[in-house]
Structure 1
Amino acid sequence: MKKADKYEKELEGAYDKGELVSERPSKTEKDKFKAAAQATFVKDRRVNIRLSSPDLMDIQARALEEGVPYQTLIASVLHKFVSGRLIEKPSRLTTSSTRAAKKRAAG
């Protein structure tokens, strides 16, 4: 388990002091959140795709980095892409497929 960063320690301290107050959503908000969650997480179709071994290994490594199963990560990325919410952030990993692509582009 990773160590808490400064922000997380501040949150924990505020929680311990009772400074954080939980606000309960209204019934309307709860219903809206519930409907959104149900629409997002219904998985009623199966898709098979072929990936290169290096890409799959990179996906599995990123999933491990994020703490989620790799198939869940793939589904999440696809969902964010189709809903227009995909925001890329650099990985702490130096991926082999990225290195290969840069070499091909430079060469």
Structure 2
Amino acid sequence: MFDEEELSILEALESGALKSSIDAEQEIALARQAARENLSKSKNITLRLNMADVVAVKRKAQESGIPYQTLISALIHQYAVGKVQIEA
């Protein structure tokens, strides 16, 4: 089952002779915070856009029946996944 070294570690752990070198509660809290920050579905950002572009996008979004911010997000997503490319 356990070899001699594993048994000695288990005994030391159970007797309280071993002390953790990290604060487990703090490490867990940091991991949870990192997960929340990195696994969230969306991220709010601020963009400065040309007013004429905003008006045009709002018009096209209205024609499509979707909110203009959803349209902008969809366009960025399509670019990010390679469905849309910008001509240089």
Structure 1 length-normalised TM: 0.40
Larger RCO of the pair (alpha carbons < 8 Å, separation 6+): 1
Structure 2 length-normalised TM: 0.48
